[in-house]
Structure 1
Amino acid sequence: MAPPDLHRVDGTEDRDPPAGHDLVARLPGSPSQVSRARSLVTDALGRDHPLHDDVVLLTSELATNAVLHSRSGAGGSFTVTVTRSDTLVRVFVADAGSEGPPCVCRTSAQATSGRGLPLIEALSHRWGFTREDGSTTVWFELLQGRVAAGLAV
């Protein structure tokens, strides 16, 4: 399988982007690439980032959706973009589109799927999607909370 098409939006090629820069990778639309999408979050944020675990989880959900529910999983690809600053992390997953828009569908307790977007809705500060030119981009952002001096316990 070909390696991911990895690049920075600002044109540099290093894998440790400073705050405020984007890390972008185009990945083949196969299930094995969901773990690569998770690794990209670690590459962009580092494991010690306070939002790392939540960003990894939500990115995994979006990458899985791209592979399972869009044309990306039928021989296409999907793109993961991670943007970070001192106060937030934003992730975009663009896929090859599907027949219908993403659905925040409520599922039964016994269902084995259908919890990805409700999870994104529950954990992210904001999220949304766009559909244009046959593709779908779903995004979320998480804010890094700050504790005022003297309030830390």
Structure 2
Amino acid sequence: MVYMLDRDPCPEAPRLGTMTLHPSPDSVPRARRWFEKFIAPYCPACSIEDCVLLVSELVSNAIVHGRSDEPWVVRVEWYREETSLRIEVHNPGCPANVRMRRPEDDDAHGRGLLLVDSIADSWHSGPSRFGGTVVSFVMADAWE
């Protein structure tokens, strides 16, 4: 596993941090712990617990749905954009395959994007600048 906290000394650079994770189930709890540790010094006004939950869901989705013939990683990045916090999760999967499901009550899976849609102020999916897919969400008013 490679974990990094990038703090750009340049104030106009909005990225607050990044994590690179192997696509294995044990990376999901690691992503939760490390994101919480890395974001805490920035003291966001939004719920860190909500952000941790959504990071966990998107990293889990990235691991389950990411596909590549080559070794690959899941990349998580977070940015301050004025007063908002934007979190991106990148994987090598196909962007067209990202869709919100409507699971039955007894389905064990399929609620990740529903959670993102209900908790985040907005979310987006599309092609990643690293190749593959990015799914991101925004927490508005994370800073005053």
Q: 1:11, 1:122 → 2: CA distance?
A: 34
Match of 2:87 in 1: 91
Match of 1:137 in 2: 134
Aligned pair 1:52/2:43, yes or no? Answer: no
Q: Is the 8 A contact 2:95 2:132 kept in 1?
A: no
Unaligned runs of 5+ in 1: 13-18, 148-153
Q: Is the 8 A contact 1:51 1:144 kept in 2?
A: no
Indicate which of 116, 128, 136 corresponds to 2:124: 128
SS of the aligned residue for 2:97 comes to: coil
The two structures, once aligned, show a CA RMSD in angstroms of: 3.0
Give the length in aligned residue pairs: 138
**Per-residue CA distance 1:121-140 (angstroms, 9 max, x = gap):** 11110100112575000000
Residue 137 and residue 11 in structure 1: after superposition, are their counterparts in 2 closer, same or farther (change >3 A)? farther
SS of the aligned residue for 2:4 comes to: strand
Aligned pair 1:22/2:20, yes or no? Answer: no
Per the TM alignment, residue 20 of structure 1 is displaced from its structure 2 partner at its CA by 4.5
Q: 1:116, 1:76 → 2: CA distance?
A: 22
Matched AA of 1:27: L
**Per-residue CA distance 1:95-130 (angstroms, 9 max, x = gap):** 011484211011100100000001101111010011
Q: Which has the higher contact order (CA 8 A, sep 6+)?
A: 2
Per the TM alignment, residue 76 of structure 1 is displaced from its structure 2 partner at its CA by 2.3
Match of 1:105 in 2: 101
Per the TM alignment, residue 37 of structure 1 is displaced from its structure 2 partner at its CA by 1.2
Unaligned runs of 5+ in 2: none
Percent of pairs with identical residues: 28
Q: Is the 8 A contact 2:15 2:77 kept in 1?
A: no
Aligned pair 1:62/2:51, yes or no? Answer: no
Q: Is the 8 A contact 1:41 1:82 kept in 2?
A: no
Residue 146 and residue 26 in structure 1: after superposition, are their counterparts in 2 closer, same or farther (change >3 A)? closer
Matched AA of 2:50: D
Q: 2:39, 2:82 → 1: CA distance?
A: 11
